[in-house]
Every structure is written in structure tokens, then in C-alpha cells.
Structure 1
Amino acid sequence: MNYAELLTPVHQFLLCRTPQAWIDKAKEPANLPVLLQDHLLCELKAAQTAMLLLRKYAVDKEGSLALLEWLKPFEDFAYRFIGDATSLRNSVKLSRNLAGRPDVSYSNEIIEKMVLLIREELHHFYQVLEIMQARGVPYTNISAGRYAKGLISACKTHEPQILVDKLICGALIEARSCERFAALAEVVDAELGQFYLSLLRSEARHFEDYLTLAQQISTTDIQPRLQHFLQIEAELIQSPDADFKFHSGSPI
């Protein structure tokens, strides 16, 4: 499958494309460091989101501890500046098979999709860090933009709807990431462009995995909630945004 075919369902899903003003700003060499730093943290946050779903809804206490151990070296690096690329490359992997909780009917479905997603996101975290180091881009723990917060703040607060809403938000974030990988690939240097295209190939199915889980868990059709969040997402992407980040809106 070529990249155009991979992008077709992403473009059909999202309500808008990335504004040209964002692309113009992203291709300025001076803005590459912040893009790479924010992208690095986005990969970690994607893994954390999937892990929270696993720990809250799918695995037992032993499985939860194994997941925390898996993520710890990456969080230590990102938030406490402990470790480096070498230590992350040799960090502890998931040390056991995870068993679904018998009291949660959809636990095995969450495990199947989210463990693979976490593995890929952490690998991409390491790849972005390697690129940063090769280009002399220092790592700093920059502040989060408004995008994810703007989506999550619209989630319901009761179960199971909060889980369904968070899965929908996960789908939107993954789809927008893929759309931006493709947009960036056309305006950055060839080496970085190939990297973004490789991420698109790896992550293109993630948004569909989230949507599938959301519909499996929901007791009703998710389309009304999905349309609600799609509108919020499009507004976040198209409206003026003073903070330039990987998922930010139209630059002021």
C-alpha cells in the first residue's frame, strides 16, 4: 500500500487539513527544534494514554506493575532527565504476557490493540531522540499545547461514556498525527521526510483501532459523539493559536 492509499482514510475521517500557515511555519529551520521536542513528548503521551487505558480497564495488579516498569525509563528521561539514548535502547521491555480482567468483557480487545500501540510509540520516541541527537537538538521538557487538553476537556465524566470519549479522542489525535506526518514530509529535508513517511506507514491504522474499541465498548452508536469531537478537533486545528507545537492551530 502506498502513502496516498494510507492517507485516504485519514483525510476522509478528519474534517479539515492542516492550515497552510502552519506548514509554512513548520518548514522554517528555526522551528525544527520545537517540532522535534514536542513530537518526542507526543510519542510518550500516546504510550501513556494507551497504558492508562490498560491499567484502568484491562489488566490485573501484576500486569499494571509490569506496564509501569516498561514505561519508567522513558518517563525518567522525559520528566526527570535521567538516562540517555543508550539506556533507553537497553531499557526493560514488557516482561510478561498480560491477562485480561475477567470482570471486564472487553479487556482482551484493549490489551491486543494497546500493547502493540505502546510498543510502536516507544520505539518512535527513541527514533525521534536519535534524530535530535544527530542534529544537535537539545532535549528540553517544553510545555504542552492546547490540542489534547481541548479534546479531553469535552469528555463526559461517567462510565462507560468517559472511556468511549477518551477512545474517540485517541482516534482523533492519531489521525491528525498521521496527517501532519504527511504534510511535514513534503517540506522538510529528504532524510527527515522519509522518517515521517515511515511513521505514517506504521501509525496509519491506530485511529481505526481506537474507533473499533470505542464502538465495541459503547452501548449506543458512537457516531453522534464522534461528530461532536470532530467539530471540536477541526476548530482547534483551524483557529488562531499563539503557541506553535506539533498539533497546534493556525499560527498567529
Structure 2
Amino acid sequence: MILKTPTSSDWVQKVLENFDSFLIDHAHAEKKASGMAMSMVSHYPDKPDIVKAMVDLALEEMIHFKQVMKILANKQLTLIPDEKDIYVNNLRKLFRKGTEFYLMDRLIIGGIIEARGAERFQLIANALSPGKLKQFYLQIAASEEKHYELFFELAKKYFSNDAIAQRTEFLLAEEAQIVDKLPLRALLH
């Protein structure tokens, strides 16, 4: 995992104490991830590799959304209005202007968000008792890990390894600061 700072055990405890809230936020996160992928399809129609990858990603994220919605329904929970994602919004402020810079930043930040999701879903899976929910979160964590790899594979098609490494190092340091300042809530981010 590429992250500079690990998620605290306090966050895991907060999620376990408020798991219904976490599930609702998880549903919203999957929905937003699908929307982000479709946004990239709209923004880069001239890049067939990005279009294909993001269409596949959007569909997979919607399947995850549907799976979380099924868990919510089984628990007789419904979605509530979505909260702004402080983490993602702060990362978006780091996007640079300029076509190439913007593309690089979208891909790297997309990868970082997926890496953080993989880490946190794995922590949740590890903390859950054996059963269907634990298996679900193990699968989600593995999926997020593949998404992280996908974003960096796409970046390598358009940018040099050195450029990616340099920008990733900067963005990971910024991401660590953002994570360290996040309020302790039963939300994915």
C-alpha cells in the first residue's frame, strides 16, 4: 500500500460502534465513485483506454452500491441525505490546471482514494466477526486494491514514471495531512 499514514484504530472502533451509519455512507461512496468514473468518460471521450476502464469501473461501483443497498434493506435501513466528503473535496483542491496536469492529478488522486478505501475496508473486514459481512468487506477491499492499481496503470500510459512518482509523492504527503485532520466519524472518509 502506498499510503503515508495509516488509519487509526480509533476510526475502526468508531465505525464498529456506529456500523449502520457507516453502511449508509458506504452506499453513498459507491454511488459517488460510479459517478466519478462516468465523469471521466465524459471528460476524456478521445481516450478509448480511459473510457473503457471507467465504464467498467462505473458498472462495478454500481454493483457494489446495489450490494450495500441490499445490506441496508436487510437491516431495514434507508439512505439519508448524503454528507459532503471532506476528504475527497480537499483532495480535489489539489488538482492543477492545464489539460495534462489535470489528467495526471485525476488519475493519481483517483488511485490514492481507492488505496485509502482498500485500507479502510480491509480494516473493517479484519474487525468483523466471521460471516457474510466480513466476506463482503474482504471482497470490497480486494476490489478497491485493483482500482488503485488501475488508476496508476492508466497514468503510466500518458506520463513518465518519474513524473508520476514525483507528483504521487507530493499528493501522498498532502493526503496524509488531510487524513490526520479528518474528524473521527463513522464514515468511509
1:32-111 superposed matches below 5 A:
32-58=19-45, 101=46, 107-111=47-51
Q: Which has the larger radius of gyration?
A: 1
CA contact (8 A) 1:44 1:122 kept: yes
Q: Give 1 or 2: higher helix fraction.
A: 2
User: Structure 1 residues 158, 177: CA separation in 2 closer, same or farther (over 3 Å shift)?
Assistant: same
Secondary structure of the residue aligned to 1:144 is: coil
Instruction: State the match for 2:151 in structure 1.
Output: 210
Distance 2:184 2:148 in 1: 27
Which has the higher relative contact order, 1 or 2, with Cα contacts under 8 A spaced 6 or more apart? 2
- Structure 1: which 5+ residue stretches go unaligned? 1-10, 59-100, 102-106, 248-252
- CA shift, 1:206, in A, is 0.8
Other-structure match for 1:229:
171
Contact 1:38/1:142, CA 8 A, preserved across alignment: yes
Q: Which runs of 5 or more structure 2 residues have no equivalent in the other structure?
A: none
Please name the residue that 2:57 is paired with. 117
Pick aligned residue for 1:238 from 180, 183, 189: 180
Conserved? CA contact 1:215–1:221, under 8 Å:
no
Partners of 1:238 and 1:209 lie apart in 2 by: 26
- Following superposition, the deviation at residue 238 of structure 1 comes to 2.3
| Residue type at the aligned position of 2:77 | V
Are residues 240 and 39 of structure 1, via their aligned partners in 2, closer, same or farther at CA, if it must alter by over 3 Å? closer
Following superposition, the deviation at residue 131 of structure 1 comes to: 0.1
State the number of aligned residues. Answer: 187
The structural deviation recorded for 1:172 is 0.6
> Residues 41 and 51 of structure 2 are in contact (CA less than 8 Å); yes or no, is this contact kept in structure 1?
yes
What is the aligned-residue identity percentage?
Answer: 31
- Whole-angstrom distance in 1 between the partners of 2:4 and 2:29: 22
Contact 2:15/2:187 (8 A) holds in 1 = no
Amino acid in structure 2 at the alignment position of 1:26? V
| Superposition CA RMSD, Å | 1.6
